[in-house]
Structure 1
């Protein structure tokens, strides 16, 4: 099966062209059905492609004269959407020249450009930034929103839950993902009015939405493997994500310091190295790279700006998987089921 082309913003990220091309080439070696539209400085892309003939044969280059900087304000970036590599990659999705776009550039600019060019799908008020996080279970966990919307009402949270569940069904294979709202406690009386309202709506409609919903989850339980989708507003979600990432780095650095503290510790490191390598692999953000803007009329994936080639390849793989399983159509179908469920409840109440 040959998928629609994936537009890659080759200029985004901390190291730009080299890592983005290496990552795309690695993804292409893993999956030869991938085709690419590489957007950016044509000469630099051609030079980078010299070492990757397999990618070169599966790619087309779209020259872009400009780049969105990492510290640029979204409003400034929007004015140059027609000339920047990021803007042209997103526009390729809008015009149908590509099925999806991947960028490691400025997150705020990417969201602003994506919303303006692709618009939100019918039934979705706001798109949400979603990512996969590691857990102690067999599958990664979907979490959203991670920063796109700092304030959300109950309607937004319900829509996020629907989108997150659709995404989870693709990446976990579960027919009914376990969805929970992030809260300060699991008791039904805890949380804001918006959380209470969202929980009530999801509980009433869960059977029609192919999800298992059972209220709230606290932040210290999100990585236990007991939840497939964690839903929250972008403010809380971004804080929770940074706390998880910071804790992972803290544990890794603490282990490294401990193993280097004495000769006996160094010997202990050699003995336990297989276990520490497994831990390192599990906590490496490159192995879970690829945040998705859910709720748009098109697929846009954000790669970590500091991602290496493996990380970029994983972001491309996430993008391809969403295309292969028609994430946009799945969300639309779930929204239609929610509408039908609401109408049935309204009619029953009227009786």
Structure 2
């Protein structure tokens, strides 16, 4: 058995043991025509993968009375798809997968959506995808080695796009650990990001486990987990709390760098579903129930565990409240800490 197989076996063993068998959703509202799942990436991208997986689960268990059709609408880091969704106001037959770029794009580009929590309709949050600090084992083998080097020389990092969640987390790490300014190289996607570090071309990156695992442990290793507790499948990898990264410095009044670096209160990759603005409460309830059933399937639980993701379900109201804080934290990080320009018409909260 290889190290990778053993690790994945450990992760599978941690899956939820008893899940309720899914049944068709029954509510006061139901869709009357096919549902469009508007995807902000091209086929094969992260959001496309999640959306099609959810659609497959819904079809497998017969959870929807109508077909759900994936519609890829890439462009502008989500700007094109969000503008399209905003144009479907009041129509509950349009949904879209969510990720952090919806927040970062909406805060920077003058599109009809400014705050997704207000200008779209939160339906369900399906998981949190944690950040790891990842290096090539032949280059940097531990946090102690990373810290010594980053404080004495400029290291090079890589991430998906510019002024997105990767660059935000990397900049927060730089400030929290007192590193010299990192060189940041934008890349096209998480797979390309991982390959750059695995190939020895870049010193490090922060990435989601699913992107790093194909190269583990020969060419990529996690040296820090930005989570409250160690992942059971990686018990030898310390958390940033244990290493006291950012615990003694504040990013804003009463909030430490450690807290905003963390999975729970920070800016890690989130995956969920949103609808068009202004849809009825009955439609919201139907979608919340639908995706709760998807979440509870063995199919989805096993996918999350096998990819070292954090299974967190939130219904519509809780997800919307969580998003407000998530958006506000992005404004603080992007504008107030890093000095990045946000859209000139940004509504203050």
- Give the structure with higher Rg (CA): 1
Q: Relative CO higher for 1 or 2, CA cutoff 8 Å, sep ≥ 6?
A: 2
**Normalised TM-score (structure 2):** 0.30
Higher helix share: 1
**Normalised TM-score (structure 1):** 0.29
